[in-house]
Amino acid sequence: MDFTVTDLHKNEKNLRSSVDQILSAVNNVKLKNAASIQSVEKLTHAALMKLGKDALATLVEDLAKSLTTNIDLCKSAAGTLDNLKTELIEVQKEQLQSVKNTVKTEMQSWSDIVKKNCESSAPTLKKMKKVVVSAVQDDARSRNFIIHGVPEGYSEYPGDVADEVLDDMWQHKNHPDVVAANFIGARKREDGRPRPIKVTLQSNESVKLVLAKAHNLKKSTVKTYHTWFISPDRNFEEQAAHQKLVAKLKDNIKADSSKFHYIKDGKVLSVDKS
């Protein structure tokens, strides 16, 4: 069977339900004034013997089915983890090669500068480190996208939210695999807004596909998604530039509501609504 986190949570609930049914059945036939059994640790042979054979057989059958499903799910999870390890190694190799190429390009650029102006100082080690760090960070951010507007308490598992959104955008067909997902910031923000969710995919090409389909959330049959939106994972400079664009967009909307205003390619554009 194919492993998904959703199936794992579902099977956990089934196992807990089977155990709860056993405890409930034992407590329903317990002797007068006997203490109620609240956990498996307190379950005894004598308590189980109070149940009739038919009732006990039904409970054992249900528990056996849940355990069998759990075994199959654990095997599938182990296979999935092995595949993820292999994929992660390949991604790390690509990252290393990307850094090598970037450093090589930057070194060539510095060499050209020195040749053109022999009086200019050579690049310092601090500058070179900054170039390398920036290249690695940009490469990592290119494989991320951010989901905004998901209400706090909607789900405690950000990975499930990411899969849910991608399922809707891809109409429940095969969508890019989620490598990682996590909430950004403190659980209770001072401004009261919900925390964004950062989602990591296997490649920047997959992220480009997600961003291209992001507008489909507004057309989803699930109205909850209409207040959510997706953005790239921007650095501080890009965030500041985007905030200025958003401010300009709001000013344009107030100044002329007869037109449709939007942001594209780092510019605020306006067209007639017709």
Q: Which residues, including other chains, have CB under 8 Å from residue 94's CB and lie 6 or more apart?
A: none
Up-side HSE of residue 134: CA atoms within 13 Å toward CB?
11
- Give the model's confidence band at 1: pLDDT under 50 very low, under 70 low, under 90 confident, else very high: low
User: Hey, how many other C-beta atoms are within 10 angstroms of the C-beta on 207?
Assistant: 22
List, for residues 108-132, the tens digit of each pLDDT value: 666 666 666 655 455 666 776 666 6
pTM summary value: 0.46
pLDDT 10s digits, 137-154: 777 888 999 999 999 889
Question: Do residues 180 and 233 make contact, with C-beta atoms less than 8 angstroms apart?
Answer: no
For residues 140 and 88, what is the distance between their CA atoms, to the nearest angstrom?
13
Checking if the pLDDT of 87 tops 60, the result is: yes
CA 40 to chain centre: 35
pLDDT in tens, 218-236: 888 999 999 998 999 887 7
106 vs 200, which has greater pLDDT? 200
Q: Which residues pair with 199 in a beta bridge?
A: 145, 181
Residue 163 has pLDDT above 90, yes or no: yes
**What domains lie within the chain, and their CATH numbers?**
5-87 (no CATH), 142-233 (3.30.70.330), 236-274 (no CATH)
- Would the pLDDT of 245 be above 80? no
Nearest C-alpha neighbor of 73 from the set 157, 7, 159, 6: 7
